[in-house]
């Protein structure tokens, strides 16, 4: 009962503090190859698919707080491992909390840096 009440309060507080967001033209992602230690920045436009070694990344949307494109960006992504032929991530990644919705892959890490406009 107490847990349900706490959860309800958290949901209401989150909705009350919701920010207005803008849709961006694209995103900057950062990829890490855990084997080689190489870090790559991947810049892409909404609707575009980029290839990062064995990963095929599609950007569905990038949103950010109104007036602050370098702020708390979040991107809707779909990531497919072409070697295995399976989707390894589909959903929203948040720049300020990469562990909140992280891609689980043995070799690669991927996270959102910021949205891009024009």
What pLDDT digit, counting tens, does each position of 11-32 carry?
434 443 567 888 999 999 999 9
When the pLDDT of each residue in the chain is averaged and rounded to a whole number, the result is 85
What pLDDT digit, counting tens, does each position of 46-66 carry?
999 999 999 999 999 999 998
- The span from the CA of 61 to the CA of 24, in Å, is 7
Residue 73, CA distances (Å) to 6, 29, 40 in order: 27, 11, 19
Strands 55-65 and 49-52: antiparallel
Query: pTM of this prediction?
Result: 0.79
In this prediction, residue 38 carries a pLDDT of 96
């Amino acid at each position: 009962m107490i847990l349900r009440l706490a959860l309800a309060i958290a949901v209401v507080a989150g909705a009350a503090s919701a920010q207005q967001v803008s849709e961006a033209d694209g995103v900057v992602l950062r990829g890490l190859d855990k084997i080689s230690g190489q870090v790559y920045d991947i810049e892409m436009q909404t609707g575009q698919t980029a290839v990062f070694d064995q990963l095929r990344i599609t950007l569905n949307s990038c949103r950010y707080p109104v007036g602050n494109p370098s702020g708390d960006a979040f991107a809707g992504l779909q990531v497919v491992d072409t070697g295995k032929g399976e989707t390894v991530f589909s959903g929203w990644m948040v720049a300020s909390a990469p562990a909140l919705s992280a891609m689980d892959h043995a070799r690669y890490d991927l996270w959102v840096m910021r949205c891009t406009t024009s």
